[in-house]
């Protein structure tokens, strides 16, 4: 009845992806992806979202393409907190690459949401590196989950950070995190008091799924940069919105998304900032003079995660896998 296609998409499982990650460098492609996105060269529809109640879980579908590119990506990533009790990873999902000229599926990366975690870590690192004061050599990581690990890993790689301060609400988790990071030869200190930690830090990465602010605006000192990666829905929130009001520069990964999700959404809702004052990280990667002006500025970057990041990392994995298995 129909023309038969012979092409079958390449299914690549996480155990096949993990060993080739060391061969993949997406720092520059991801910066370029953000630049292209902010130049309007990407077609990225609003994030699809599916909420489950019993047991609680959510699924995000991010998808899109770069004009002139070879592929479109559809990325599915879910989070089910109860999975831990079942011995199952809370994050699950896959990235799908399709031929942009025919719609044929080329590759199914069953990444169990790990590539999402990794591209989020990399985006955090390149954003923090771009916006933090140049003399920073310490980072305060707020939170104890997967992103605390990936942000630490990539920020240390990207910025040559020598000391990591950790703060988390759960002592059992913070010890485990500390041990995990220490094993990677990083100097780690656990902070007991978030206020004093924030007051003494010039680079802060927040990675929690908090639904009310953890960081108070009064604690934030001149010269500080904060990258907030935890809040990616309309209700999650890690920062007191007055931090954004007080900041000299508020940076979004996608203004279109951030007005609906994350810290920027919260600050706009409380009329603490103006949408017109926002700038996208892609604009700053293209014109670094639009970033931090001096060592006294307070800068905040709010990252909600954009499909262009998924496209960049999925293409890199697919191409590298292809080369290695040719």
57 binds a copy of itself (CB under 8 A): yes
CB of 77 to a copy of itself, least distance (A): 9
Nearer to a copy of itself, 64 or 305 (CB): 64
Nearer to a copy of itself, 88 or 324 (CB): 88
Nearer to a copy of itself, 131 or 148 (CB): 148
The interface mask with a copy of itself, positions 194-233, x = CB under 8 A, is: ----------------------------------------
Nearer to a copy of itself, 98 or 318 (CB): 98
Stretch that binds a copy of itself, among 79-87, 253-261, 277-285, 295-303 (CB under 8 A): 79-87
CA atoms within 13 A on the CB side of 58: 9
**Per CB under 8 A, which of residues 17..56 are in contact with a copy of itself?**
43, 45, 48-52, 55
Distance, in Å, from the CA atom of 284 to the CA atom of 291, rounded to the nearest integer, reads 6
CB of 154 to a copy of itself, least distance (A): 13
Say if residue 301 is exposed, middle or buried (CB neighbours under 10 Å; 0-12, 13-18, 19+). Answer: buried
Nearest to 261 by CA among 238, 283, 277: 238
Bridge partners, 239 (sequence order) = 215
Distance, in Å, from the CA atom of 234 to the CA atom of 266, rounded to the nearest integer, reads 8
**DSSP H or E stretch at residue 199:** helix 194-199
Backbone φ and ψ for 89, nearest 5 degrees, come out as -60, 130
DSSP 293-305: -STT--EEEE---
Nearest to 147 by CA among 109, 121, 184, 173: 121
324 binds a copy of itself (CB under 8 A): no
Backbone φ and ψ for 8, nearest 5 degrees, come out as -115, 135
Nearer to a copy of itself, 74 or 239 (CB): 74
The residue from 20, 41, 89, 242 that contacts a copy of itself (CB under 8 A) is 89
92 binds a copy of itself (CB under 8 A): yes
Strands (E), the chain: 10-13, 42-43, 48-53, 56-66, 71-79, 91-99, 105-110, 138-142, 163-167, 187-190, 203-206, 225-228, 249-252, 279-280, 299-302
Give the count of beta carbons closer than 10 Å to the beta carbon of residue 4. 5
CB of 315 to a copy of itself, least distance (A): 16
Distance, in Å, from the CA atom of 107 to the CA atom of 113, rounded to the nearest integer, reads 15
**Per CB under 8 A, which of residues 156..195 are in contact with a copy of itself?**
180
CB of 187 to a copy of itself, least distance (A): 20
The residue from 19, 22, 40, 101 that contacts a copy of itself (CB under 8 A) is 101
CB of 114 to a copy of itself, least distance (A): 7
Residues that bind a copy of itself (CB under 8 A): 1-5, 8-9, 11, 13, 43, 45, 48-52, 55, 57, 59, 61, 63-65, 72, 74, 76, 78-80, 82-84, 86-89, 91-94, 96, 98, 100-105, 108, 110, 112, 114, 146, 149, 180
């Amino acid at each position: 009845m129909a023309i038969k296609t012979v092409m079958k998409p390449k299914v690549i499982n996480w155990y096949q992806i993990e060993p080739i990650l060391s061969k993949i460098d997406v720092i520059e492609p991801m910066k370029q992806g953000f630049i292209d996105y902010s130049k309007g060269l990407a077609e990225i529809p609003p994030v699809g979202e599916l909420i489950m109640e019993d047991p609680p879980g959510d699924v995000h579908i991010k998808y899109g393409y770069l004009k002139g590119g070879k592929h479109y990506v559809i990325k599915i990533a879910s989070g089910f907190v109860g999975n831990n009790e079942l011995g199952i990873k809370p994050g699950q999902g896959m990235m799908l690459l399709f031929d942009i000229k025919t719609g044929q599926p080329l590759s199914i990366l069953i990444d169990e949401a790990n590539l999402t975690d990794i591209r989020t870590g990399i985006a955090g690192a390149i954003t923090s590196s771009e916006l933090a004061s140049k003399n920073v050599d310490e980072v305060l990581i707020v939170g104890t989950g997967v992103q605390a690990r990936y942000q630490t890993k990539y920020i240390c790689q990207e910025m040559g950070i020598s000391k990591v301060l950790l703060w988390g609400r759960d002592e059992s988790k913070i010890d485990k995190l500390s041990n995990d990071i220490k094993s990677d030869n990083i100097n780690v200190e656990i902070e007991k008091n978030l206020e004093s930690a924030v007051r003494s830090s010039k680079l802060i990465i927040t990675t929690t799924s908090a639904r009310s602010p953890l960081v108070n605006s009064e604690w934030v000192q001149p010269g500080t940069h904060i990258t907030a990666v935890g809040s990616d829905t309309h209700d999650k929130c890690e920062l007191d919105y007055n931090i954004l009001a007080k900041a000299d520069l508020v940076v979004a990964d996608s203004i279109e998304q951030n007005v609906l999700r994350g810290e920027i959404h919260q600050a706009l809702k409380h009329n603490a900032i103006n949408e017109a004052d926002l700038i996208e990280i892609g604009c700053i990667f293209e014109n670094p003079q639009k970033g931090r002006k001096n060592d006294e500025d307070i800068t905040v970057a709010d990252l909600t995660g954009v499909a262009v990041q998924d496209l960049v990392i999925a293409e890199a994995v697919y191409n590298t896998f292809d080369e290695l298995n040719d």
